[in-house]
Amino acid sequence: MDNMEQVKKEMLSKNVWAVIGATPNTEKFGYKIYKKLKNHGYTVYGVNRKGDDLEGDKLYASLKNLPEKPECIDIVVNPKISKIVLEEIKELGIKYVWFQPGTFDEEVINTAKEAGLNVVYNDCVLVALS
């Protein structure tokens, strides 16, 4: 089993997640991933700078606003935003980050690894949980 498979297993065993880029738009991955995690019994917080809510669940403007510190972060935004979010993740001392396809570039992954984060990328939570 390679390292990423190991990290993935560890992540899926954690209970509290935040989805960066959660959205009430049912067409988008930010919606589908949020719902999938929730339906699998995880505690999930949605983070969306615009605020809003997702089917009655509050969406938070940033990780710092969450009522508790998530163990895992699932990122569903473009690489530019991913880079900004990484700063916040480091500050909060969160160790697990899952980058959905299309949310990272080489720089983002290198920054995450340099920060000592456990990362999964080139893989989709929807697939892992199906």
Q: Where are the domains of the chain?
A: 3-124
State yes or no: pLDDT of 1 exceeds 70: no
pTM of the prediction?
0.95
Residue with tokens 């959205």: 23
pLDDT, tens digit, 9 for 90 and up, residues 63-108: 999 999 999 999 999 999 999 999 999 999 999 999 999 999 999 9
pLDDT at 11: 96
Can you tell me the mean pLDDT for 55-64? Answer: 96
In this structure, the number of other CB atoms found within 10 A of the CB of residue 65 comes to 12
**Confidence band of 26 (pLDDT split at 50, 70, 90):** very high
* pLDDT in the model for residue 2: 64
Residue 72, pLDDT score: 98
Query: What CATH fold (topology level) applies to the domain 3-124?
Result: Rossmann fold (3.40.50)
Q: What is the pLDDT of residue 3?
A: 87
| Alpha-carbon separation of residue 130 from 8, 36, 69, 125 (angstroms) | 14, 9, 26, 8
On the CB side of 121, how many CA atoms lie within 13 Å of its CA? Answer: 20
Average pLDDT over residues 50-69: 94
Tell which wins on pLDDT, 2 or 53.
53
